[in-house]
A and B are shown apart, each in its own frame.
Chain A
Amino acid sequence: MPIKTSRFDVDIITQSLSEIIVRNKYGAFQTSEGPYGPILTPAEITIINISGKGIIYGGFFQVSGGNPPDDNIRVELDGVSSIFTGIDTFKDRNLVEPLITPLYLTLYDQVNNYYTLGFSSGITFEQSVKVIYDCNTGGAFLYWLFYYATI
């Protein structure tokens, strides 16, 4: 049986590229969306738990009702928790810009009892990502949008 082969010549010297586009490729865009609540009794609640390798595109987390300033929220990346977890801590340390920590404060409204945090975009994870809310007083109502992709 004859073997088919193909061959073409390329003159490397005459090749020229006006530009090269390089970009990172992650998997398909995915979302996780709330709401959940009200949380009736103090409890630590895992909101999102993803096993895989990927990237956080962003999103936000909002809590109302109860006494959110006393509650905690944390992002756990590859089994390691973010350090600043108390919602009051975000205000006290003025953590209001993305990428300082995996979460950043965008709304602290004591009058209407609404508190919102953003998820920093561009954070990659190698094994897993979790979002955990620790409700200390009960009565909290949660809403979130979490954008991510896995390879």
Chain B
Amino acid sequence: MTVTLEELFFIGYSIMPQYKLSAISLSLQQDGTYSRTITVMLPNKTYQVLDFPGDKPLNRGQILKLIKDTFSCSPEDFIWPEYITIPEI
């Protein structure tokens, strides 16, 4: 039996756990600051909402770090859809 490189890649890709960014949400709070949450779709297709730390700047690096620290996944296991941008006030 021979397996092409393309098939090997497909097999590897399909069994790799995938975390996907679902949303970045800002919500005004009574003190005038914004609560910041990161919603992630897990490999089992459920969703988890993470509170983004109030003392950290909301940027791509910090979001990826939060996800990496929370799920212990490598950057290759994480999908950031291009339609999701970091919201600004």
Contacts and interface: CB of A to CB of B under 8 A. Distances in A.
The A contact surface, by secondary structure, is: strand
Nearest to B25: A50
Given A27-B39, A28-B49, A30-B49, A48 B28 contact: yes
A150 interface: yes
Contacts of B87: 49-51, 128
Contacts of B24: 50-52
A52 B82 CA distance: 10
- Interface size class, chain B: 20 to 34
A3 B1 contact: yes
A122 interface: no
B41 interface: yes
Interface string A2-30: 01000000000000000000000001101
B28 A150 contact: no
B15 interface: no
Most buried by A among B37, B46, B49, B84: B84
A150 B26 contact: no
Nearest to A36: B28
Contacts of B26: 46, 48-50
Contacts, number: 78
A78 B22 CA distance: 16
A33 interface: yes
B9 interface: no
B59 interface: no
A76 to B, nearest CB: 11
B13 interface: no
27 contacts: A27-B22, A27-B23, A28-B39, A30-B25, A30-B37, A30-B39, A32-B27, A34-B28, A45-B28, A46-B28, A46-B89, A47-B28, A48-B26, A48-B27, A49-B87, A49-B88, A51-B23, A51-B25, A52-B22, A52-B23, A52-B25, A52-B83, A52-B84, A54-B22, A127-B83, A128-B85, A151-B41
B79 interface: no
Contact of A150 (B1, B39, B89): B39
Given A150-B22, A151-B22, A51 B28 contact: no
A42 interface: no
